[in-house]
Structure 1
Amino acid sequence: MNHRQCDISASTQGELGILATLPRPVYGHVLGINNRAIGFPHSHAWAQFSYATEGVLEVRTASGRFIAPPLRGVWIPAGTEHSVYCSAYAQLRSLYVDPGAISFSWPECKTLTVSPLLRELIREFSEMPVEYDEQGSQGRLVSVLLDQIGLAAEAGLSLPWPRDVRLQAICDDIQEHPENRHTLIEFSQRLKLCERTLSRLFMQQTGMSFRQWRQRSRLLFSLSLLAKGERVTDVAIACGYESMSAFIVAFKEQMGVTPKELFPTHG
Structure 2
Amino acid sequence: MLGQRWSLPNQAIHTQHAHPWVQLSYAAEGVLMVDTPHARFVAPPNRAVWIPPGLTHGVQCATGTQIRSLYIAPAAIPPRPCEVVHISPLLRELILAFSHFEEEYNEAGAEGRLVSVLLDRLAMAPACALMLPWPADKKLAGICHYLAEHPDCRRPMQHFSRQLGVSDKTLGRYFVRDTGMNFRQWRQRARLLAALPLLEKRQRITDVALECGYDSLSAFIAAFSQLLGCTPGDFMSRKEHRADNK
TM over 0.5, shorter chain: yes
Structure 2 counterparts to residues 1-267 of structure 1, below 5 A: 26-30=1-5, 37-102=12-77, 104-106=78-80, 108-264=81-237, 265=239
On the 8 A contact 2:7/2:67 being kept in 1, the answer is: no
Counterpart of 1:23? none
How far apart are residue 178 of structure 1 and its match? 1.1
- For 2:59 and 2:12, locate their aligned partners in 1 and report how far apart those are by CA, in whole Å: 5
- For 2:148 and 2:26, locate their aligned partners in 1 and report how far apart those are by CA, in whole Å: 22
Change (3 A) 1:28 1:115: same
- For 1:176 and 1:155, locate their aligned partners in 2 and report how far apart those are by CA, in whole Å: 22
- For 1:89 and 1:250, locate their aligned partners in 2 and report how far apart those are by CA, in whole Å: 28
Amino acid at match of 2:190: S
How far apart are residue 87 of structure 1 and its match? 2.0
How far apart are residue 176 of structure 1 and its match? 2.1
> Kindly, what percent of the aligned residue pairs are identical?
50
Report the TM-score when normalising by structure 1: 0.85
Amino acid at match of 1:30: R
On the 8 A contact 1:56/1:67 being kept in 2, the answer is: yes
Structure 1, residues 182-201: CA drift from partner, whole Å, max 9, x if none? 11111010111122211111
SS at 2:127 equivalent: coil
On the 8 A contact 2:43/2:130 being kept in 1, the answer is: yes
Counterpart of 1:8? none
- For 1:221 and 1:184, locate their aligned partners in 2 and report how far apart those are by CA, in whole Å: 19
Amino acid at match of 1:255: L
SS at 1:121 equivalent: helix
How far apart are residue 88 of structure 1 and its match? 2.5
How far apart are residue 30 of structure 1 and its match? 2.8
SS at 2:45 equivalent: coil
Q: Any stretches of 5+ residues in structure 1 without a counterpart?
A: 1-25
- For 2:156 and 2:6, locate their aligned partners in 1 and report how far apart those are by CA, in whole Å: 47
SS at 1:28 equivalent: strand
Q: CA RMSD in A?
A: 1.6
- For 2:86 and 2:12, locate their aligned partners in 1 and report how far apart those are by CA, in whole Å: 20
On the 8 A contact 1:70/1:262 being kept in 2, the answer is: no
How far apart are residue 143 of structure 1 and its match? 0.8
SS at 2:5 equivalent: coil
Report the TM-score when normalising by structure 2: 0.92
On the 8 A contact 1:29/1:129 being kept in 2, the answer is: no
SS at 2:102 equivalent: coil
Change (3 A) 1:29 1:181: closer
SS at 1:84 equivalent: strand
Between Structure 1 and Structure 2, which shows a larger proportion of strand residues?
2
SS at 1:162 equivalent: coil
- For 2:26 and 2:211, locate their aligned partners in 1 and report how far apart those are by CA, in whole Å: 25
Q: Which consecutive aligned stretches of 4+ in structure 1 deviate over 4 angstroms post-superposition?
A: none
On the 8 A contact 1:110/1:154 being kept in 2, the answer is: yes
On the 8 A contact 1:50/1:75 being kept in 2, the answer is: yes
Structure 1, residues 24-62: CA drift from partner, whole Å, max 9, x if none? xx11133699xx951111000001001111110100101
Once structures 1 and 2 are overlaid, which stretch shifts more, 89-98 or 36-45? 36-45
Q: Any stretches of 5+ residues in structure 2 without a counterpart?
A: 241-246
